[in-house]
Structure 1
């Protein structure tokens, strides 16, 4: 039994981008619904703004992953400001309706054919995590050297992990 391999694989899953994204979403829901008691259906919109704010600069403009991360954080903060000012005094069902409407607007914007060049419409983006994986000391070295970190795939997800 190789405990180094077991702990290494566990650390790779714990510090993967997907795990971090779900942990941040759960924390956001805990703050909104758990502590404040506000029903917010717009969490998916915040995740989409952050996800596309990260992936578009990395794939379309070839920027490093950490600049994509800063752009995603600034995009999420700007979206929070734009959504927060008009909904500041809303409570209960009205906040839920406003946030679900904002979530649908963001979803439709990212899946429209107008922005297909940057968002790949309903197909989504893939291959944006190469720079992050290279910088993560817990993940094993990448074996897909033929595809660069900014390469798009036609399958909509990462075809080979």
Structure 2
């Protein structure tokens, strides 16, 4: 038997057993394809992808390690997300979150950076880019640390 073969036993293996999951509708509003790897913090993916980033906070794609999901320009897809395991400390990626997903301050800072840098965010879950306020002067929804939101006219 080859050295790089693992035998786990008979029957199916459940990936990410016991982890919190979400399903989101994601729309690529950009003019180029975007590919997201299995372990990327989904909250911080490409700013042209429109979806409810609140629900994606602390989550990654619920797909096998080493695989990816590709969004062609204009595509809309449903994706499954799963909560990160371990210490829940996320650093790097898009530079939005640099700390624990459990930290109120780190969360507030991440959402502030998200909006300041023009990332699309669809709190209503449509994923169509129409309600986030980053295009066309529509209202922008600012989130508080607890996940509630309030409307603010973008100016």
Assess same fold via TM > 0.5: no
Structure with greater strand percent: 2
Structure with greater helix percent: 1
